[in-house]
Amino acid sequence: MLALGCDHGGYQLKEFLKKHLEKKGIEVKDFGTYSEDSVDYPVYAEKVAKAVQSGEAEGGILCCGTGIGISIAANKFDGIRCALVRDSFSARLTKEHNNANIIALGGRVTGTELAADIVDSWMNAEFQGGRHQGRIDIISSFEK
């Protein structure tokens, strides 16, 4: 299951990506927000980060206006590696090298078709382990 979350600035993109994933038969859980009324993006970052931290979700997708605030907030949670992505190459590499368990997108920055390709690239990639695991271990050591 993939956890989805957004603020008002990412609402339309989150809705688009939810349909995109559901069409592919991927199970999603939508943690809100559920309209374009103004809300605080850290609240939704926390919901998705905790779902990923606990193992309830295999990964997460977060959208705000730029993707920046919501990614900063998600990265405050231990074990979360949230990558703000703008292109499909980085989306693939952030799984292969960083094992990003959440990606963040900007609803006011990235168009829907590119966003869908970014999501697919991240989902279809596999973490390569090896030297990359050692680097992630160093990042994890900063959390203690």
- Active site (catalytic) residues: 64, 97
Q: Determine, following the binding rule CB under 6 A, whether residue 110 of this chain makes contact with ligand RB5.
A: no
69: helix, coil or strand?
helix
Minimal distance, residue 10 CB to ligand RB5, in Å: 6
Window 12 to 51, contacts with ligand RB5 (CB under 6 A): 41
Structure tokens, 28:
């999603």
Q: Residue 55: what residue type?
A: G
Q: Minimum distance from CB of 9 to ligand RB5 (Å)?
A: 3
Question: HSE on the CB side for 38, CA within 13 Å?
Answer: 0
Alpha-carbon distance of 90 to 109, in angstroms, equals: 16
- CB nearest ligand RB5: which residue? 69
List interacting residues with ligand RB5 (CB under 6 A).
Answer: 7, 9, 41, 64-66, 68-69
